Structure 1
């Protein structure tokens, strides 16, 4: 074999190795946001490709766990990552199966503060089922974010149609989350723990952050609450941890803030630790309007038969 032949063979082998490497690269590295090339956030995806549309994408958290979730690429400039949903599957159930955001244990001294899902590292459900079951991915406690967005979507709506069928959409734009650790898990763990019987109504309520309305308004949201409940809140906010007269802690008051001195928060807030008053148990606590003892307090059926979707950006 002469030198020229050897050179040709070496060149061919190099070309074959290059092609093989490219094939392997193509095999394992698809578009950003795919299973083989997950993004760190929907915000990062949007920055990488501003033309991306709403839909399911793959995200990798800071610990290397890859999961699929929904990205909203439109509201307020887009880049919102779905991290959780609260779905009330049985409004009459009181801390029964499926009430993950309050307690599945019922009234028991062993679980006086609920199951702790607002603060812990548990994950459950799938993004595609976010309007049909509770959902929580690892970005809820692992992503460092600045703001939150909330959608109220009728139960069992296909996720791909949620942006169209949502009753309400609103978001914060003040970048408040870093003050409380960068996500809701840190807020509830280090700043405003959800504990039963340890705090005082109104005095120990958490932060209330103004929101921007993408769909709906403060007035339209208030109209979904009972008339008595409307008198105790201001619309156009999202409040974190509110304490009622019975000293039960409620994780989230979507769309409103509690007025000073008011303590009937079970009728407008969700995620109860209630252990002392069984009728306030459950993810959606006392939102329902057909309890004869709550005349004038219960929310519209449209509100409590919708799932609450939480996004970070």
Structure 2
């Protein structure tokens, strides 16, 4: 009786190994003993996993990234031969697709991951918008998952080849700081955001798309919904159960049918409520998908410094833009292109380089998710000569426009025209030229803008209401207070201002009360302070006129940041290796 031969391991997974062999000549069965970490020295040195007359076996229930050794004995049920031995390690399961991407994996596909001790296969997109995306949710109209925290079931297929819906539960979703809303295996079909996805109720969360720079509302309420699944619309609680439990992401500015899935709806074609502007009656042929990834602000940077923020305002600041000026440090690119900012755990922060002097200093607005009362820490990263700047005012600020186009996703325009790379409001006779933001600000903000007067006549500054659900007397909320030449003043201000000269930067403090950013076309050349009233929907508008003559003004840029009466201060710490 001969010993078995030709042991091979043709397929290896994170939790299983397939063994193939040629049975020993003259034998009736093959006995297989398994031992972890070393070759079995006898038939009793390990675990017996097989004794039969075949030539293949799938060894299951194994631990990932573990070496298993096997001894195969031929037997005639009376005697046993010497052993044929061999070892094979299971595939290592990593914490997420993001970790695999960081290790150099650049091919899309199904990979084993291990989250909170749970090891399972997941689909990874390693290419789209930087890659590292883990697919955590797939909803099909004809196979919906009504429990967003359901977890992996028997028909789980992360490749989507069998078109079965699934939802990873809270213990299976990898650690992440970005989420994408996709279609089938395209993670960013819609957009992706700085957000931590979770499976329960999601209160209305305003976020900015990193792909499109559009502003969105993200929301899910398990027992209620908004009209059109738009959090800007009317809310319904405990009515129309078919529309409850909807996950939605909707672009600001009315009902846009951006991305929404309603798993409770009894009509199949109504479950996939919206995708990229299309509404109910969509195709069953694709999945509404959600993806997550973890990105590190200091990736590929050699150095870092702690920035200590001191908040003496007496309130916790949320999603606040802090103004930070940093000097040039050794190892930093001279143009500051390698500068990054991140939270204490390494999550990237959006920022905008507003001004810099090469090899000297640079000033930034850094958007910080939460600044508690007292002191807190963020990090400055640098030290990579090949890095490309990620400065982006659209991500960092509440609103930003340099008027390269007439952007109707940001503004309502009446009579405004594009003049080169500026916005021009000209009123040679009757009729008002106006632009006002589509975004409503119900919190205090600063508005900054640069303007140019294009006519020679006297300009009289005064404030007025543009959009107001109120009576004329309520315009007193504006207090007729102007910000002129660096200080506040009351009443009108008349002056012969220079012609064809860019003036600014004006700071205009708007303390809230659902205030819109708007400029009335009578040649705005100053600022107004709105005291605010939560019961009024009031935008601010600046107007001036030529004492009965024409008016004509251009704007080079407008941007907006949040306001607090006591701005946070900062200090930069010593250099550390990253």
Normalising by structure 1, we get a TM-score of: 0.50
Normalising by structure 2, we get a TM-score of: 0.29
- Rg comparison, structure with higher value: 2
Greater strand content: 2
Bigger relative contact order, structure 1 or 2 (CA pairs below 8 A, ≥6 apart): 1
Greater helix content: 1
